[in-house]
Amino acid sequence: MTSPPERDWKYMRKVKEDLIADLCEQINGQAMDILKSEAKSERERYGLLYRHVQESDDIVANCFDDWRRSTLLMKLVALKRHGLLTSDHIQHLSEETQKRLKALEEL
């Protein structure tokens, strides 16, 4: 599998920090909801928060670790799966990358 075109790589590098910020905002908001839950005991909230942090760390790693042009297509799939890659982002990508992304999503 060949790497996406250079223009796609440059665009995604440009928006990477915004994508990370959006994901962190989601993760932090969910953590706050867990902590504010009055229906759970302190111990239950701790357990929920611990699992949330572990699962969130996996999502961050899946979307952003090993961020290279050669891994970009798989990162795009992960970003889309986690609701971070919007239709606006996708429209900025080349037609070739859009087609490859769609094909990978259908697997």
Domain assignments of the chain as residue spans, ordered by start: 6-105
Residues 41-52 pLDDT 10s:
999 999 999 999
Distance of CA 76 to the CA centre of its chain: 8
Q: Which residue has the tokens 């798989």?
A: 74
**DSSP 8-state class, residue 98:** H
- Residues 9-33 have a mean pLDDT of 97
Which residues, 6 or more positions from 31, have their beta carbon under 8 angstroms from its beta carbon? Answer: 49, 52, 53
The predicted model scores a pTM of: 0.89
* Higher pLDDT pick, 5 / 106: 5
- Residues 20-38 have a mean pLDDT of 96
Q: Which percentage of the chain shows pLDDT scores above 70?
A: 99
Give the chain's end-to-end CA distance (angstroms, integer).
15
Q: Which percentage of the chain shows pLDDT scores above 90?
A: 92
